[in-house]
A and B are shown apart, each in its own frame.
Chain A
Amino acid sequence: MSGGSDIGIRFDGVSVAYGANTVLDSLDLTVERGEVMALLGPSGSGKTTALRAVAGFVQPVRGRVLIGDRDVTDLPPHRRGVGMVVQSYALFPHLRVEDNVAFGLKAQKADKAGIPARVAEALEMTGMAGYAKRYPRELSGGQQQRVAIARALAIRPGVLLLDEPLSALDAQLRSGMLAELARLHRELPEVSILYVTHDQVEALTLADRIAVMDQARLQDCGTPQELYRSPRTEFTASFVGNANLLPVRVGDGQVRLGDAELTVDTAGVAAGTTATLCVRPHLVGLGEGVNALRGTVAEVQWRGATHRLYVDVAGQRVKADVRELRVPPALGERVALHFAPEDAVLLSAGVSADE
């Protein structure tokens, strides 16, 4: 293939199993050069296994792993040349920050004279230049994670593997580090990044594309916009963002939920079948309108800027995030909700994730 150098990472039917337990089931996925691919899924979905297959810490029972146009399936980890950052930082506790960052350069027998400059460059890039002489235990969690990133970048890898890198940080640090990672990616446009996370905000913020994993399988893959605005499966709809998934009967140009007749785009779904209607809670409004859903208020949560209402409509609990209400509805009160036809996506039953 002439475009071989455009590949960052390629999974070619990769399966990983421990005994009879398949933890990754024939994964086919290509990460372009310079692309940020998020592997998003709940724990046990196989996303970390996929990353470890790239790093070389698990051996696939079937399939090939390619980095660039190199088949690395049978290479030991130390010959793969990937940078890796994990949740626990995994810094070497007895080495100073600068020696941690220099470790990879020394291990790869880089030109001795050039090492200090490359260490300084990596620390500069992650904003840790002032901490070169410190030991890891003298740094905060966020600082340790920056050092871990600097250590991974110092060897100038073509591929950077990030395994839940922000999960050990508190919420405020996390959003700061997200911005940092986005900046690093802009500064290193050649580096492909595989980013494993269970946090959809991280995936939506950072990724060029998101691969949604569940039960050892790739469920869906697309840009954040595609997955968020028009999810193809119920699993994607509920995991990427948060969605109301309502079982409806499909008619011609409209669907029925209980007594309510709702106008949505029914293209591609046969009339007379059942399907799942996906509507994001923040796109649901309170009050009468087109596509009105009438029901009783089951729960009201005040979240500062918004109110989250849970309304029982025809046996289904519908979530609505509305702007803070001066007088929120009382529990048990009958209210009407509405949503615009173009804000709903109809998922035909055939592509639903669970039977």
Chain B
Amino acid sequence: MAFPLPRGITPPEISFLAEMEMVSILPRQRLEGLELLGGPIEPLLPPRRATLPLWLALLLKRQRRANILPPSWLHPESLSLILDIETQHGDSKGAFSPPPPLPNQPSAQEHYQKRPVAIPHYTPDGNRYFPSSPFLPQNVAVDQGPVGEAPRLPFHWLEVGTMLLEAASDDLVDPDQTRRLLKELREVRSSKMRSGVDVLDSAAVGGNVVSLTGVGAMEIGEGRGFISGVVDGLRRIGASKEQARREQMAGEMGSGGYGATQDDDDDDDMEF
């Protein structure tokens, strides 16, 4: 095959997409507004903060025209809190720390007042919609952290964190500690991904679902080949079993309706 890349998207591509994340900057120079394909950029007036796509923020940072204000999750304190959640959690062992809630799906147990909520946008036809990642402000800086709220890792945590450490480490609080924590988080979560094949086992044959909630973009990219390979292998080996199950189900459907059967199978099986 002439196409050289593996299936899915590669780390440089994921990283490229992460550069669309919006971040907060503190401009050091005035700059006129820009009309970009991705939307207009407001004029930069020095003491006033601005929100820009990461790629532009990094460019201005390299040219020393701006400082980047790190997002609140990229702070040693927040990161060690998240790391605690990842490593403890007795009851939901193997689960990932929860992702930031979506703006139109407020979390049930908590009410946030100070969280940066996505502003509803309007399509050219005037329909209201909420942007999804990467157009959610998951990486902008907030003045005071919402009270009592645990920090959450955004979808592009690894990419944004790594890029900011690389290009703007002087803007971060304790970059060395941050770097160490990011690395630790990555290792803890990566070993969780690997031990997750046990779940894949029942998921592939039983018609269940594997939850990847809270897993970041780069982590999904890293595991894509392996996970899909395992699921495909399980599907192939279990094909005859699945076939038998379907035939049995079809037989039950044919003779007297599905509801009449007193089988141990619960309704979940119907999903498949």
Q: Do the two chains belong together in a single complex?
A: no
A residues apposed to B, CB below 8 Å: none
